[in-house]
Amino acid sequence: KAGVTQTPRYLIKTRGQQVTLSCSPISGHRSVSWYQQTPGQGLQFLFEYFSETQRNKGNFPGRFSGRQFSNSRSEMNVSTLELGDSALYLCASSAAGTRNNEQFFGPGTRLTVL
């Protein structure tokens, strides 16, 4: 079974631009969660999608948004990029949700904002 894949793996953008990151979950998994990882803050939960609906949301500004397609693939969008958005963005898939279900993480997308 293929693991969670994320594209692109690396991205460089400038302040004010927007970016879209993509995540393909493990086949059969319906839940996709997104996390931001930075050295100072660790792993911070962004949001979770289940069957195309946002089921949980973390404490991030509205510039961060996401969506999930009928094939469970998910995209995350960040608009009006700021320097502080530089981070590793991880997505994780699970069969039914993050609670009590093992999450499988992708390798992440390293975003650098200049």
Partner 1 sequence: QQQVKQSPQSLIVQKGGISIINCAYENTAFDYFPWYQQFPGKGPALLIAIRPDVSEKKEGRFTISFNKSAKQFSLHIMDSQPGDSATYFCAAGVGDDKIIFGKGTRLHILP
Query: Which residues in this chain contact partner 1 in the complex, by CB under 8 A?
Result: 4, 31, 33, 35, 40-45, 48, 50, 55-56, 58, 90, 92, 97-100, 102-108
Q: What is the DSSP string of 74-113?
A: EEEEE-S--GGG-EEEEEEEESS-STTS--EE---EEEEE
In the complex, the smallest distance separating the C-beta of residue 80 from partner 1, rounded to whole angstroms, is: 26
How far is 10 from 13, CA to CA, in rounded Å? 10
In the complex, the smallest distance separating the C-beta of residue 107 from partner 1, rounded to whole angstroms, is: 5
User: Closer to partner 1 at the Cβ: 6 or 19?
Assistant: 6
User: Closer to partner 1 at the Cβ: 32 or 81?
Assistant: 32
Report phi then psi at 84, rounded to 5.
Answer: -70, -5
Q: In the structure encoding, which two tokens stand for residue 59, read together? A: 């404490």
Peptide bond into 107 cis (omega under 30): no
In the complex, the smallest distance separating the C-beta of residue 99 from partner 1, rounded to whole angstroms, is: 5
User: Closer to partner 1 at the Cβ: 43 or 114?
Assistant: 43
